[in-house]
Homo-oligomer: A and B are copies of this chain.
Amino acid sequence: MTATPPVRILLCDDHVVVRAGLLALLGSEPDIEVVGEAGSGEEAVALAAKLTPDVVLMDLQLGEGIDGVEATRRIAATGVHVLVLTTYDTDADITRAIEAGATGYLLKAERPEELFAAIRSAAQGRTTLSPPVASRVMARMRKPLPTLTERELDILAQLSQGLGNRDIARALFISEATVKTHLGRIYDKLGVDTRAGAVAVAKEQRLLP
């Protein structure tokens, strides 16, 4: 067997501390080489195009600029594997990341060995999910959870501003009747029966940007 070249990694996280941590952890692995660091989504997209790494380690929360999902979408579109490494394991985040083309989804709480293994898998295009994430994905398969339509998300966004039906109607240029129809379906999908409950679920599940 010939010596395999190291896996080339691009880091993307807005926190210096996290980048330093990843750098330190990955530095101990001979077959993994960090070839670049980005502190924003825009930077990551540019560097990924320039460096063509084997894997991009991407945080979903990036503070300023485009978010991790959008960065993932753009980078994945160029054929580079993106391994999402983030703090949260909500359904909405996972779904959006996967739809954006992420190769894997890891939680920052994961043990370093898992991270290394996931990176090596991702370099070959194989998918790795953190156990809690995998569980949620499985659960989602069994019970088709709330998948709100875009219009319903519009309504939900207005609702989360505390607006009444009339104001929502005006904001979206539709009638109150339509607002109420959408609200009813939103309640069904989210498993609630009041606007307060809907807002709670929306915030909890991070359904809104």
Cβ proximity bits A2-21 to B, threshold 8 Å, 1 near / 0 not? 00000000000011111111
> Interface size class for chain A?
35 or more
Which residues of chain A (161-188) have a CB below 8 Å from chain B? 161-164
The answer to whether B15 and A159 have CB atoms under 8 Å apart is no
Complex Cα gap A165–B135 (Å): 36
Q: Is A160 an interface residue (CB 8 A)?
A: yes
**In this assembly, does A142 line the interface, its C-beta being within 8 Å of a C-beta of chain B?**
no
- The one of B19, B195, B203 in contact with A204, judged by C-beta atoms closer than 8 angstroms, is B203
Q: For residue A191, which residue of chain B has the nearest CB?
A: B162
Contact B24 A109 (CB under 8 A): no
Chain A 101-133: CB-based contact to B (< 8 A → 1; otherwise 0): 000000011111001000000000000000000
**Pairs A–B under 8 Å by Cβ, sample size 13:** A15-B21, A15-B109, A18-B21, A18-B108, A20-B25, A21-B21, A63-B109, A159-B196, A160-B200, A162-B196, A162-B198, A195-B195, A199-B199
